[in-house]
Amino acid sequence: MGTIRLGDVAPDFTAKTTEGDINFHEWLGDSWGVLFSHPADYTPVCTTELGTVAKYKKEFDKRNVKVMALSVDGLESHDDWIKDINETQHTTVNFPIIADEDRKVSELYDMIHPNASAKFTVRSVFVIGADKTIKLIITYPASTGRNFDELLRVIDSLQLTAYEKVATPANWQYGEDCVIVPSVTKEEIPKLFPKGYTEVKPYLRLTPQPNLN
C-alpha cells in the first residue's frame, strides 16, 4: 500500500458491489469518476450523504461522471442499509456500493488511517478523470458531512481547466470569469480568448469562461 497522489493513475480493482461484480477501470470507461468511502453501514452522517448523491445523480450524469461508494461491510448489510437510506432520505440509491469486507480497496486507496481507526475507512473522496488519473483527493472527519455542491463545483473547474488554458479563482462558480494561466503570452491571448480579457496585474488576467457561447 502506498500513498496516492494527484496525477497518479487510479488503482484498478475488481470488487463485489450492490450492482454486481465490477472492474473499476472497465466500469469507468470514458467517464470521469467519483469514488467515496464510508466508515461503516448504518452511520448517520453517511446515510444523509448517500441519499444526497442519489438525488444528485442527474447532475453527475450531466458532467459524464460515474459515482461509486465504498463501505467495509458486506452486501447483505448494504442492501438493508439502502432500504433505510431510501426511506429516510426520500430517494432511491442509484449507484453501486462496494462491499469491502477484506478492506482490499480501502488499503489500495489508503483509506484506513490508524490514528482515526484501525478498522474503518476515513471518509475520502477521489475524483478521477477520463484518463484514469486522480484529479482531486479530499478527506473528511467522521463528524462533518460532505458538501456535494462543492464537489460538483470542483468537477466543473477540473473539466474546464483540463481542456482550456485557464484556472478558476477563489469561490468560482460555473459561468463566472476565469484566470488565464501564466504560460499564455500576451500575444497568444486574442486567438485563445476572443471574448477579450481584463489585465488586473500582468500575472492576473481575467477572461469570460471560454467554453460558454
Domains annotated for the chain, with CATH where assigned, are 14-146 (3.40.30.10), 164-207 (3.30.1020.10)
DSSP annotation of 121 reads P
The residues facing 125 across adjacent strands are 36, 138
DSSP annotation of 133 reads B
The mean pLDDT value of the chain amounts to: 92
Residue for grid cell 469570460 = 208
Alpha carbon distance 41, 53 (integer Å):
16
Alpha carbon distance 100, 105 (integer Å):
7
Average pLDDT over every residue of 29-39: 93
Report residue 40's pLDDT band, with 50, 70 and 90 as the boundaries. confident
The residues facing 101 across adjacent strands are none
Which pLDDT tens digit goes with each residue over 176-211? 999 999 999 999 999 999 999 999 999 999 999 999
* DSSP alpha helix (H) spans, 117-200: 148-163, 189-192
Which of 15, 34, 35, 46 is labelled catalytic? 46
Does residue 178 carry a catalytic annotation? Answer: no
pLDDT at 144 over 90: no
